[in-house]
Amino acid sequence: MNRFPSKLKKSLDARLQDNSLRELKTAAGGVDFYSNDYLGFANAESIFAEAQKLCEKYNLKQNGATGSRLISGNHKLYEITENFLAEFHQAEAALIFNSGYDANLGFFSSVPQKADFIFYDELIHASIRDGILLNHAKAYKFQHNNIEDLQRKISRLNLSENSAVYIVTEAIFSMDGDKAPLSELAKFCEKNNHFLIVDEAHSTGVLGISGMGLVCELQLQEKVFARIHTFGKAIGCHGAVVLGSQKLKSYLVNFARSFIYTTGLPPHAIATIYSVFQRLKMKETEIELLKANIQFFKKQLRIAKIDTYFVESESAIQCAIIPGNENVKKIASIFQQNQYLVKPILSPTVPKGSERLRFCLHSFNSEEEIKKLVNILKTSLTQI
């Protein structure tokens, strides 16, 4: 059928006009400063081999899970891996979802109830926003990392005895790379009997002992209602886990639709998750290399006197604000011409005027690669 709805065409035309139309492109070769594979595990053949051995050990030589986990897809490795993840992250229970998006959709669409309230940081991930849209609680955003604004907005509520208040933030924010004030948020929630939820997507495998995350680094495990750790970033594979109480796990198994009504992950995917976390538990070599590269990158920015373009961040995500879709795409193309893989982040993904280049640092980037990256950026900034 060649006919296409006029409203959809209008939306596409608008994106084309403001230079923000997204397209799928095959990943190019070059120096990686754009992927979320912070520790290089996505391409680690040793982890692939370990996962294969694990599948053979438990006689799970199948390509798919064969069904949802509540029917035929709950193979033995799920139980082993969930128990290990709960222990690793110092939580009572763990429940694996197929992706971070699925975890956030399932959690936020089912846990907050009618007459409850959700307060979320204005820079929270789209998957959390989408989950919130599916429930019947009232939701309000608060200014980024601003606890005073959060307090003001909560104080205006007329809370009933049956109303629960959920406070939602990320440990490391995906588009700025900065940290949430988790200690202060946890103290505020504890004092007022609110429920704190932390998305640890970009702190998993990076912060805390053995990459346990920011909550564990700050010893806040007992003060956080739920943590969502995703495996598509530093862990280098696929899936996500929700950490919390055994009661929360039971509730999600019964009411989280993105968990109930989907085929489970195949055995090799679960074996990969287990193998990566076993490696993190045994040694922190990649984490230390990543931290060293972050500090080296920031030092080179100061030497080049272009650090003022960047959002303050101690994480693997380093962002240079370059307003205007056209400007940021132009500089990204210069990187690509030099075989450096750097992607522009355009509006409306970020607010208009805060378009940026998002540099993802890795344990495997060399100092020479980082120096050249900074030099290309410094030269490119003079051309806009």
For 210-241, the three-class secondary structure string (H helix, E strand, C coil) is HHCCHHHHCCCHHHCCEEEEECCCCCCCCCEE
> Hey, what CATH topology would domain 284-381 get?
Aspartate Aminotransferase, domain 1 (3.90.1150)
β 138-142/117-121 pair status: parallel
Q: For position 162, what pLDDT does the model report?
A: 86
pTM of the model: 0.94
Q: Per residue of the chain (384 residues), what is the pLDDT tens digit? A: 889 999 999 999 999 998 888 888 887 789 999 999 999 999 999 999 999 999 999 999 999 999 999 999 999 999 999 999 999 999 999 999 999 999 999 999 999 999 999 999 999 999 999 999 999 999 999 999 999 999 999 999 888 888 999 999 999 999 999 999 999 999 999 999 999 999 999 999 999 999 999 999 999 999 999 999 999 999 999 999 999 999 999 999 999 999 999 999 999 999 999 999 999 999 889 999 999 999 999 999 999 999 999 999 999 999 999 999 999 999 999 999 999 999 999 998 899 999 999 999 999 999 999 999 999 999 999 988
Q: For position 278, what pLDDT does the model report?
A: 96
Q: What is the dihedral of CA 367, 372, 373, 375, to 10 degrees?
A: 130
Other CB atoms within a 10 A radius of the CB of residue 64 amount to: 13
- Separation of alpha carbons 227 and 354, rounded Å: 29
- Separation of alpha carbons 378 and 92, rounded Å: 48
* Sequence spans of domains, the chain: 45-282, 284-381
Which two tokens mark 383? 């051309």
Q: For position 25, what pLDDT does the model report?
A: 83
Other CB atoms within a 10 A radius of the CB of residue 237 amount to: 23
Q: Is 45-282 in CATH node 3.40.640.10?
A: yes
Q: Name the strand (E) or helix (H) holding 110.
A: helix 100-110
